[in-house]
Structure formats: C-alpha cells, structure tokens
Structure 1
C-alpha cells in the first residue's frame, strides 16, 4: 500500500434515494467512509448534493427543510477530510400524472467528474471510491482509469427491487463493483448526534 491513496466521491442525491428506500435517512457517514476506504490512506471525501428548492414565497415547511439541510451540510463539512460541494436544484414543472413538482440537480455530476479527473491527472490518488448511479460520469471514469487509478463503484444491488440502481453502462465502466445491501445500511445507522 506504499504510495497508495484514495478519495471518496459520494453522490448525495443518489445516496438519499437509497436511504429513503430503506426508510433510514440517518446514517453515520464516518462508518460509510470507513467501509469505502478499505484500509487505504484517505486523501479526502467529497459529498455532492443540492439544498432543497425554495419557492418565491417559501412555506414554513420549505424553510425548515432548507435550514435542516444547511445544518446537515455544515455538520458533514466538519467531519475529518470532508468537503461538501453544493449544486443547484432546478424546478422543471409538474408531473402530469401525480401533479408532484419535478426537480433536477444541476452541476452535481460536473463537480464530481471534474474532481475525479483532476485528482487522477494530478496523481493525487491511486484509488477512487464512487457512490453513484449516473452513467454521465463514464468519461471521467475512463480518464481516471487511463491515468492508472483503480475505480470502485458502490451501488445498491436492486435486482428484483423497485429501488435506485446504478446504470448498467456505469457498472461495466468501473474496475470493481461493491454491492450495498440492507444489512450494511443498518450497520451505518446513526447513533451519535450527526444531523441528516
């Protein structure tokens, strides 16, 4: 392991969907990172997500949700070697069937891709651990691999489940695939005062 170093890249929106699926929105992120690092020296953890959408005249519920997420991001930023990268949440209209609002994360994938490429080309890391499901990251993964970085993908093994899953092309693009399952999510359940 001499000279080896890992960075962890967490798509917070994707992780939120996994946690919602298991009805467990509060986990200990230190335990998650320890699992993903696997005894390699850690350079940094990058967490990518957006603050909730605020309408022009936000309701009390919107303001509370926004404030809670801000506090959560600040808490993550205080963890050792953690950096939160905030994207923007864009309103895209209303679902015709359910009439629920449709939101889209902006910049999150770009931030993750840029960080992965930069760390790889500058030879800051030898290993990258990604928790995401988005195939838009494949070009960045290919660059990282061409620079000699071992790329591991952490994803939800959702065969037969109606749960968030990693894109098939993404699974094929990485060097290693580590499936997450309910027992692991339960092991990471938050027992301290971390807010989330």
Structure 2
C-alpha cells in the first residue's frame, strides 16, 4: 500500500474556542506563539513514523470586525477596527500564514443582527446564569463582551475544498477538526472516493449523521500540555 497523504481541514470557530481554553485560558499568549502551538497540534494528525505525508492544512475563519457600535454596558462607542481583539486576530492570521503548509481560507461576517455575547465563558460570564438572575451585572467585565457576528461562506468553502482535494487525488486521508454535521456530504464523498475520513471533535460528543460517515475519531486535546506541545510526539 502506498503511503498516505494527509490533508487537514480546521473549522477555526470550533477549534479556537476549545484550544485556547486549554493552552491560553488567561489570553496572555502572543499571536506568534499561539500560531505555533496550533500548528504543532494539527501536525500530530500526520503519522510520519508510518510514512504519512502532509499535503496541506486548510484553516477556515473570517476577518475580524471592523465596524463601529455602542457597547451595551459602558455605552461607549467602539471602533472594532482598532480593538485589541481585531489587532490580535489579524496578527494571528498573519502568523499562521508563516507556518509550513498552512492556507487560510476566509469567509465573511454578517453583522446585520448585532448580537452581543461573551468572548470567554466562565462562572460569571455565562448567558444562562445571567438570564436566571444568578450573576451580578456589576461583576461582568466589559472587555469580555463583544458583538458575536455570524459567519458566512466558511462551511461552503470547507466542504468544496474537501471535495476538490479528494476528487483530484491530492490526499487520501482527510482530517476534519470540527463538530458540525453540515460536513456530512463531504465526508460521504471522501469515503466513496476511497479516502479515509478522520474526525477530531476536540473531545466533544459527535451526534447525528456525522458519526455515521467517518472512519474514526482521533483527538489530542486531552494530552495538550499548557507549556509545550511537541510536534515530534
């Protein structure tokens, strides 16, 4: 049997939320360091000891917010294009592009519905506790509150790219890091074309059809060391 060629597809919205809670819960890491940690996590899916080769890592995200809006707590006008979050995310995208084999595929943000939410959730910053009256509004950190726009075009790009890579025989092992059942058609096609389809759900339970149309589950999130992620493991 010829060596497998691996293509990795990363749903950034899903991956970043879980990964950063483990490796950078206090949001102190630089974009360059976080990009390296992310890359080392992804590359663990390539079994180089058994001859597997990496074709490419596709990272699907959206550019950060650049609009202006009034903060619901402080009532201050916020220019998101100059916010720390926007600056950090732009630098992270740039840092990822400097990692080997990484391609960033960008969708768009829909800001028609300006829904606000918590950037990071914890015992205080919990929407469910807030609506139940279990949280003192004065304890909420305004810096942890931001507009939560909807992504547009990301899932479609991801599904089309998986299809293209498989049909063109560019890779015969697909790693999908996501928990979204919208990718069932891409998983079905990959398996029909003879590719192995492995899902990394980052320790989350896989429900519905997606669990039926994969060749296996594999995740390294529970083995991630906060101080170091070795690419050689």
What TM-score bracket applies, with the shorter chain setting the length? 0.7 to 0.9
Q: Deviations over 1:115-174 (max 9, x none)?
A: 10001111111101110111001001111111101000011224xxxxxx5444322221
Cα distance between partner residues in 2 of 1:132 and 1:75: 22
Q: Quick check: 1:141–1:174 contact (8 Å CA) kept in 2?
A: yes
* Structure 1 SS opposite 2:174: strand
1:135 and 2:181 equivalent? yes
Cα distance between partner residues in 2 of 1:180 and 1:32: 7
Cα distance between partner residues in 1 of 2:212 and 2:227: 28
For 2:91, the equivalent position in structure 1 comes to 71
1:36 and 2:82 equivalent? no
Q: How many residues align?
A: 184
For 1:19, the equivalent position in structure 2 comes to 19
1:110 and 2:130 equivalent? no
Q: Point out where structure 1 has 5 or more consecutive residues left out of the alignment.
A: 159-164, 191-196
Cα distance between partner residues in 2 of 1:107 and 1:80: 25
The TM-score with structure 2 as length reference comes to: 0.69
Q: Quick check: 2:23–2:226 contact (8 Å CA) kept in 1?
A: no
| Structure of greater Rg | 2
Go from structure 1 to structure 2 and tell me whether the alpha carbon gap of 1:170 and 1:180 turns closer, same or farther (over 3 Å shift): farther
The TM-score with structure 1 as length reference comes to: 0.80
Cα distance between partner residues in 2 of 1:156 and 1:53: 26
* Structure 2 SS opposite 1:28: helix
For 2:103, the equivalent position in structure 1 comes to 83
Cα distance between partner residues in 1 of 2:58 and 2:79: 30
Shift of 1:103: 1.8
For 1:170, the equivalent position in structure 2 comes to 210
Go from structure 1 to structure 2 and tell me whether the alpha carbon gap of 1:100 and 1:3 turns closer, same or farther (over 3 Å shift): closer
Cα distance between partner residues in 2 of 1:150 and 1:185: 28
Q: Point out where structure 2 has 5 or more consecutive residues left out of the alignment.
A: 28-33, 70-76, 118-126, 131-144
Cα distance between partner residues in 2 of 1:166 and 1:103: 25
CA-based RMSD of the aligned residues comes to: 2.8
* Structure 2 SS opposite 1:22: helix
Deviates more, 1:18-27 or 1:71-80: 18-27
